[in-house]
Amino acid sequence: MERAREARVAPGVSDSVPETGDDEVLPDAPSFEEAPTGSPTSPSAPAFFSVEPVPLTRYCPYVTKEACQEARGTQRCCEDVHFRRVRHPQTAREPNADCHFLQLCRFATTTCRFQHWEIDDVLAASGRRPTAPPLQHCAAAAARVPEHLRAIPEPQWICADLSPAGLDLTALGEFGVVLMVRLRASPPFPLLLLLRPLCRSADRARPRPRLAQDPPWAIGIDVPYDTLTDSQLRELNVASLQKDGYLLLWVTGRAMELGRRLLRAWGYARESELCWVKLNMMQNLVRTGRTGHFLNHSKEHCLIGVKGDPPLGARRDCDVLVSELRESSRKPEEIYGVAQRLWPGARCLELFARQHNVGKPGWVAVGNQLDGIRVVDPNLRRRLRERYPRLEIA
């Protein structure tokens, strides 16, 4: 699909790559092998890297150490990751299947009769297994971004109600990328009680860029957060958040078309789509039987919308993530690196965030399941105080 606008390219990225459709090939797109190896915070470092590569973790095909030793014909097993069986009093004497929830099973110690497993790995227990490093702030990339969109190293978060009658989104400022995540409709903290009576006046500030969201779609099953109706989601003032930027919108299976309509209603063009393939702790495809009306849902989609004329990133990320399933509605950690590389160095906003989402440099997390408020950016503090004079910010 030909894009109607002439896209600007982010600094440090070649502008020789032709515009293509979703099914076309980028013949001269840079490869991973061509990437320089400088420090992510040094001036010579590539602006599109936010984490260092991590060595591959291998899982033994024989699953248990005993089976591995038998297959190798020695008393020593391989150094890959192994698992051991966990038997609870209610576990069937000869369980005919593994529990698909495994470590996330809420009934593992009570009523679940399927087989459960746990990691049996000395290297991981001693901290010698490689793990992905946390996201890093790249000062060189931020220096190339307009000042009002420039990310700061400190993470920030705000506990607030994000329903249509809640926090005035225009008080947050402008962002390069926005990610939409889960929301609870009812405010559980006194701060939210303070914000709710103040949310109706419309003191609009200028819009802002990159967003990431995972809205609280009403999906008809028990979830650990309150949900919003389709009409309430449409009423959210997302259009005010950006003039130029990217919006990453997580959608459930039944909300795929609704998500696309919401993007259009908020002023975005859907330019791409990311698919998250879900694995359990044993690296098998998740098939829980808990979601999906006709087929089991083993994947989730993130729609990527573009508004205005933001610069193009390095386009080094794939549109498929294969990652372990964690707590209910918690998304893979890799999505934050993908979002940051869309516009390196720009401020990022996460809407409907939960406590496990906070603490990432350059990100502002907003949601009503967060622990209080932490605002470091003086411009953001000023806007919040102007909009909500009774609000106390530590």
Counted residue by residue, the chain has a size of 394
Structural domains counted in the chain? 2
Together in a domain, 240 and 115: no
Res 189: pLDDT: 33
Whether 110 and 78 share a structural domain = yes
133 within a domain of the structure (yes/no): no
How far is it, in rounded angstroms, from Cα 247 to Cα 303? 8
Please check whether residue 277 is in contact with residue 213, taking contact to mean a CB–CB distance below 8 angstroms.
no
Please, which residues have CB within 8 angstroms of residue 145's CB and are 6 or more apart in sequence?
Answer: 151, 176, 343, 344, 345, 346
Tell me, yes or no, whether 236 and 370 share the same domain. yes
- 62-92 core/surface letters (b: 16 or more CB in 10 A; e: else): bbbbeebeeeeeeeebbeebbbeeeeeeebe
CB 78 within 8 A of CB 167: no
CATH of the domain at 191: 3.40.50
For residues 291 and 227, state if they share a domain.
Answer: yes
- Domain stops at, among 78, 99, 125: 125
Q: Which residues contact 33 (CB under 8 A, 6 or more apart)?
A: none
Mapped onto helix, strand or coil, the DSSP state of residue 10 is: coil
Inter-residue contact 54 to 70 (CB < 8 Å):
no
Query: Are residues 219 and 90 both part of a single domain?
Result: no
> What pLDDT score was predicted for residue 10?
46
Percent of the residues in the chain that have a pLDDT greater than 90, as a whole number: 38
Helix and strand element counts for the chain (H, E) = 8, 12
Of 75, 94, 125, the residue that ends a domain is 125
Is there a domain that residue 13 lies in?
no
- Domain's final residue, options 125, 150, 167: 125
118 sits in which H/E element: strand 116-120
Do 115 and 213 fall into the same domain? no
d(CA 24, CA 314): 17
Domain contains 241? yes
Judge if 91 and 186 occupy the same domain.
Answer: no
Name the residue range of residue 85's domain: 65-125
Residue 309 has pLDDT above 80, yes or no: yes
State pLDDT tens for residues 190-249. Answer: 333 334 333 333 333 333 334 445 454 444 444 444 567 888 888 888 988 999 999 999
Tens-digit pLDDT profile for residues 320-357: 999 888 877 789 999 999 999 999 999 999 999 989 88
CA 291-350-45 angle, 5° bins: 115
Same-domain check for residues 121 and 222 = no
Same domain? For 261 and 296 the reply is yes
Residue 50 lies in a domain: no
